[in-house]
Amino acid sequence: MRIFLLLLLSAGIQCATAQSHVQSRVADAGNGEPLGGAQVTSKDGSKQTLTGRDGRFRLELSPADDSIRISAVGYHTQLWSVSGVMPATLLLQPVQREIDAVVVSGTLRPMSKLESPVPVEVYTPQFFKKNPAPSIFESLQQVNGVRPQLNCSVCNTGDIHINGLEGPYTMITIDGMPIVSSLASVYGLFGIPTQLIDRVEIVKGPASGLYGAEAIGGLINIITKSPEKAPLLSGNFMMTSWQEKNLDVGIKLKPGRKTSYLLGLDYYHYGRRIDKNNDGFTDVALQHRISVFQKLSWQRKEGRKASLAARYFYEDRWGGENNWSKQFRGGDSIYGESIYTNRWELIGQYQLPLKESVNLSFSATHHNQNSFYGIVPYKGEQRIGFAQLVWDRNLGRSHSLLAGAALRYNWYDDNSTATIDTASGHNRPERYWLPGLFVQDEWKINAAHRLLTGVRIDHHPAHGLITTPRIAWKWQLAPREVLRVNAGTGFRVVSLFTEDHAALTGARAVEIREELKPEQSYNVNLNYTRSWQLNRAVFQIDASAWYSHFTNQILADYDTDPQKIIYQNINGYASSKGATLNMELSIGHRFKGMAGATMQRVMKHSRLQQGGWEHQRPVLTENWSGTWTLGYSFPAAGLTVDYTGNIYGPMRLPLLSPLDPRAANSPVWSIQNIQLSKRVVTGVELFAGVKNLLNWTPARSTAFLIARSHDPFDKQVQYDGAGQVMATPGNPYALSFDPSYVYAPNQGLRVFAGLRWQIKP
């Protein structure tokens, strides 16, 4: 008996000794290359080490440790049990590259980006972290061919341009639901919690064949994380030397065995009055905003989907003369633009309990805007309801059919000319139902060729039936080489309050010269993608060329009368054509670089009364632009350096009179940034850097940005008999107050620092 006990004790000691340390080798699961600098951590996190250049490690463990955690930049963190025999090599899976990502925006059906017949660009949170920003609006400045455009020097609101087209041509959706539109396209792009963003998908060119009105120029689909797959706790806190503060937190809970809950909070505050260009006005609007996002999902039989999400957004924003306070709101003594925004959104998805794949999606929004632009009030309210039923079915081995019905209700009211009944002079809110039917067929001709055809029919009460067909062809030239050709049409039902922010400021009078017809576009796009891999290096290119033709286009006319913004359908046509190139190079898990360039020509072609044509480039449209993102990691030290930037060619700017001394075109300008990130422990990262390294602002190239900032209420402006501004000794350039001469941010160089954290299950 004693001998048996001694043998048992000896075996236990040997077992404990065997588990007192663990050693192995870590390598890339894709190419088998060793991963140096990967972090290996014990179960409780008390002990850790780094792999050597050959990927090998040795870690001392306590008897209670039964697993280790291994993480590396650019790879998924993985757990390994140490209770049994450790493999000679532990393989880490690289984070999914963009070319392999699963996308839904192009066809409403989940598929690999490589397989999609519609070109879709995918951007992950890792991409946006390279230049952290407090809102998705600012983050999109790093996307080639996409430009956040500020529309007011005073309150700093803006919209998103794609391939040189104005903001109203861009549809922005959350989880595929068209809730960030109309009023929200100007004011609602801020405050979307970045911790809840899974990815951003961008389709350039008309997407009305699936998404209906407003997707005439492009689509930005912000896809939120699934509560089941989200980390338990994630967060980001950042502040800058301009005293901007942003806190973004995501929390995952399990209220029930089959339910998952995700809570996101975003808080931003900027309260410092800075006037570095010495015009008496704030360079950046002061902002105080909070956004709360909640998402609940249920596990159902046979994996059917069910989720419900809601967001509330509040913002108090103002800009103006430096001595303005809220007691002057709406008065004519000290100028200020004060905007209160209250907005809620509801999004739901439910897969019907049928044998067929039938999904119901719905959303509802309410947006309330209470604003003063000097003495001019703007009070707008909008309600949008949306529902969509989609049936997805495979027809044999070659055809995939997608059919759906959508219904949208739009209600809008404000105190501007947009909702005044010209016959009676009474206020008349805009309200209409917009039903639509769509169908598409994806035909897999063979292993190399796919053909997608589709059509959508919408009915507008004022414009009748509107048909938008589309066709897409994909040719798989090689396993990593694809050629795509897309063609289609788009349409947009115009709402004036989204056309141009200057229409709301009161600086110019709004004149509607005719009953506006819906715009239509015709587009063709050629896309080529190719990926090469040599040892540890991966190189990818994504090139596109496009042409879009617009009829009935409505452009805000600033040139005919400097005191007015004139809206009318163009007597002619408009066009947008160009080419874009994206390149990406990854070398191991140390270096990753992305660069993009866009060449474009956006023009309006107007037929003159006396005969002939006038060809003119719209204001705030660049002919070329470029972006870059370069990152290098030092795995052993847990350090990453990111250098990002963009550059833009000249844009035509709105002048107020022939005597206006400001430049008619902007100079070439560039915003560049650098960031250093340090991994402290697993899931915790410190970051710091400098934004706008060149300290460039528009004030460098012009004598003044805001016209007559010393007389914002035009009390000293004199007019002639025709109502035009006169040149006087006190106003030699014949100007009136106007903040629309803006094309770039007024913020110069600033230092930023912050903390990111993430706790996974």
pLDDT at residue 361, rounded to an integer: 94
Query: Could you tell me the CA-to-CA distances from 355 to 44, 109, 367, 528, 553 in Å, in that order?
Result: 46, 17, 38, 38, 45
pLDDT at residue 495, rounded to an integer: 59
| CA atoms within 13 A of residue 151's CA, in its CB half-sphere | 20
pLDDT at residue 657, rounded to an integer: 87
- Rounded Cα distance between 199 and 625, Å, is 24
> Coil, strand, or helix at residue 732?
coil
Residue 34 CB neighbours (<10 A):
17
Give the pair of three-digit tokens for residue 383: 């309600």
Class of domain 20-92: mainly beta
> Coil, strand, or helix at residue 727?
coil
Stretch (H or E) spanning 127: helix 125-129
pLDDT at residue 230, rounded to an integer: 86
| DSSP symbols for 23-67 | EEEEEETTT--B-TT-EEEETTSS-EEE--TTSEEEEE--TT--E
Query: Could you tell me the CA-to-CA distances from 330 to 338, 341, 372, 427 in Å, in that order?
Result: 9, 17, 6, 22
Give the pair of three-digit tokens for residue 393: 């079915």
**Beta carbons of 731 and 269 less than 8 angstroms apart:** no
Taking 50 as the pLDDT cut, the residues of the chain under it are 1, 3-19, 498-507
In this structure, the strands spanning 170-174 and 218-224 are parallel
Beta bridge partners of 119: none
Residue ranges, comma separated, of all CATH 2.60.40.1120 domains in the chain are: 20-92
pLDDT at residue 236, rounded to an integer: 94
Closest by CA to 565, choosing from 731, 706, 416, is 416
> Coil, strand, or helix at residue 261?
strand
Give the pair of three-digit tokens for residue 439: 């169908």
pLDDT at residue 208, rounded to an integer: 65
Residue 52 CB neighbours (<10 A):
16
- Rounded Cα distance between 347 and 50, Å, is 44
Residue ranges, comma separated, of all CATH 2.40.170.20 domains in the chain are: 224-759
Q: Which residue is it, tokens 């009474």?
A: 426
- Rounded Cα distance between 719 and 166, Å, is 32
- Rounded Cα distance between 268 and 236, Å, is 12
| CA atoms within 13 A of residue 378's CA, in its CB half-sphere | 22
Residue 507 CB neighbours (<10 A):
24
Architecture of domain 98-223: Beta Complex (2.170)
Tell me the one-letter amino acid at 515.
Answer: E
pLDDT, tens digit, 9 for 90 and up, residues 216-239: 778 888 888 888 888 889 999 999
Architecture of domain 224-759: Beta Barrel (2.40)
> Coil, strand, or helix at residue 301?
helix
pLDDT at residue 186, rounded to an integer: 56
Tell me the one-letter amino acid at 579.
Answer: A
Residue ranges, comma separated, of all CATH 2.170.130.10 domains in the chain are: 98-223
pLDDT at residue 34, rounded to an integer: 79
pLDDT, tens digit, 9 for 90 and up, residues 150-208: 878 888 887 888 888 877 778 888 888 877 655 555 555 666 777 778 888 888 877 76
Give the pair of three-digit tokens for residue 729: 């000794």
